[in-house]
Chain A
């Protein structure tokens, strides 16, 4: 019991402390590939500490939605990090670590941010909020169907059970259902974390903003929490993808040496996935907004094919 709680605490701490490092590494890789010097891997942490020292400022007329969204963002990602078996399958939440619940937590933070964007009553906030919710509304069927495809093979949506079963039967990873679900979930992860080709994480042009438009009015410690929440979301979603489709290294017990090894493997896997995304972003352009529903409809189709494959071909 204590060991499982310790595992959850370790997972939350590593996500909290490592998320800005992951974002810094991705930005540094992009900078190096584009021929720039870059700010270094620690730059996001320096930005966060600078923002935390500033005086809090809230626009006039904003209310509880604006105030609570940054806190909800970090809190939802922290709970998801405690539930998902990133480092070990013996997490503190046990039977409550449901895959659908983890997805719902991440959507809750998106919805909170969209409401905050609407709360500012500016044009950019409203536009960004409506775009964000369109993307989320189209990504939800895809992610739930892909979850269904994975859960159908195992017989339950309990995350530690799914990861433990995949660890036990490694050959399942080469089946068409898992491959299709991996691709579908990969597209959804790109959409939910606001990476290219769905949204440009480095843009400051209003016409192309989705996530940036929603957080335009934030400053000081609120902005620090928003940025930390976005980085934690990226880390948690990449960790979820690697736990479901590349679970090698996840410990099945809570012994200290196994945990240390699993921690190192998790850090390595997440950095590798992040580096892959950053490298691909150098060569990609953002999709036009009316093409994004097409991309997400395609990912939904792949997820449905994964479900039919897992039901009928196995």
Chain B
């Protein structure tokens, strides 16, 4: 295997490993550290694809993606964590051991479902495509099974990282304008969610979303 293919495999592996680590850790601060690593792995995938397929605009996209997803967004989420212990996800809807086993099933599902896409091209990037789909499914799992608002934001960011990875691996990136538009939307979404979380904490004294399904006295 060529050096580029091996590097791409390593970057895709680090990408998936970061998603698994986010599912495993309970502390939101540790999750943001792994999110930074995942953003760096995503930027690395873009750089390797740009070098491999001689698309120089992928370098600019990689720089923008790296800045946003490895630096800005994890910093925003970490700033939203206050010193109070209630931001540590203590009671997910399914416990961590069961969610790890569910992640096993999701990874296998992603590989099974993405086979028609993989068969379209015989490149390393196409073979690494199921990794992006697996991260999307793991992000959905986190979004659905965690109670605290900040954990759900982390799941949402994971979901978006996975979608971007699929875009890079399947089509060697999207046009630079679309990438900037999507990144700006994502930044806005995280900022709004942060303000919402702070408001929820100030008014209700906690951000456990399961408690907010109905009117209380």
Chain A contacts to B: CB under 8 angstroms: 171, 174-176, 179-180, 293-294, 297-298, 300-302, 304-305, 308-309, 312-314
Chain A residues near B24 (CB, 8 Å)? 294, 298
Judge whether B6 and A298 touch: CB under 8 Å: no
> B186 at interface (Cβ–Cβ under 8 A)?
no
A294 and B13 alpha carbons, distance in the complex (Å)? 21
A312 and B96 alpha carbons, distance in the complex (Å)? 27
A297 and B103 alpha carbons, distance in the complex (Å)? 10
A302 and B104 alpha carbons, distance in the complex (Å)? 9
From A180, A300, A301, residue with most partner B Cβ within 10 Å: A301
Judge whether B13 and A179 touch: CB under 8 Å: yes
CB contact list, B83-135 vs A, under 8 A: 95-98, 100-101, 103-104, 107-108, 111, 118, 124, 127-128, 130
A176 and B1 alpha carbons, distance in the complex (Å)? 13
What does DSSP make chain B's interface, helix, strand, loop or mixed? helix
Q: A175-B6, A297-B97, A313-B127 are in contact. Are A180 and B13 (CB under 8 A)?
A: yes
Shortest beta-carbon distance from A182 to chain B in Å? 12
Chain B residues near A314 (CB, 8 Å)? 1
Option from A174, A179, A305, A308 in Cβ contact (under 8 Å) with B20: A305
Contacts A176-B10, A176-B13, A312-B118 supplied; 8 other A-B pairs, CB < 8 Å: A180-B17, A297-B96, A298-B100, A302-B17, A304-B104, A313-B9, A313-B13, A313-B124
Chain A residues near B95 (CB, 8 Å)? 294
A73 and B20 alpha carbons, distance in the complex (Å)? 36
Option from B1, B6, B16, B100 in Cβ contact (under 8 Å) with A300: B100
Option from B12, B14, B101, B130 in Cβ contact (under 8 Å) with A297: B101
Judge whether A175 and B100 touch: CB under 8 Å: no
Chain B contacts to A: CB under 8 angstroms: 1, 6, 9-10, 12-14, 16-17, 20, 24, 95-98, 100-101, 103-104, 107-108, 111, 118, 124, 127-128, 130
Q: A174-B6, A176-B12, A313-B128 are in contact. Are A300 and B104 (CB under 8 A)?
A: yes
Chain B residues near A294 (CB, 8 Å)? 24, 95-97, 100
A23 and B16 alpha carbons, distance in the complex (Å)? 37
Judge whether A302 and B20 touch: CB under 8 Å: yes
13 A-B contacts, Cβ less than 8 Å apart? Answer: A171-B6, A176-B9, A179-B13, A180-B13, A294-B24, A297-B97, A297-B101, A302-B20, A304-B104, A309-B13, A312-B118, A313-B12, A314-B1
What does DSSP make chain A's interface, helix, strand, loop or mixed? helix
Chain B residues near A302 (CB, 8 Å)? 17, 20
* Nearest A residue to B110, CB-CB: A308
Judge whether A308 and B107 touch: CB under 8 Å: yes
Shortest beta-carbon distance from B45 to chain A in Å? 13
A160 and B9 alpha carbons, distance in the complex (Å)? 27
Counting from the closest, the 9 A-B pairs by CB-CB distance are A176-B13, A297-B100, A294-B97, A297-B97, A304-B104, A301-B100, A293-B97, A294-B96, A313-B9
Judge whether A305 and B100 touch: CB under 8 Å: no
Judge whether A312 and B107 touch: CB under 8 Å: no
A41 and B81 alpha carbons, distance in the complex (Å)? 48
Chain B residues near A309 (CB, 8 Å)? 9, 13
Q: A174-B6, A312-B130 are in contact. Are A301 and B104 (CB under 8 A)?
A: yes
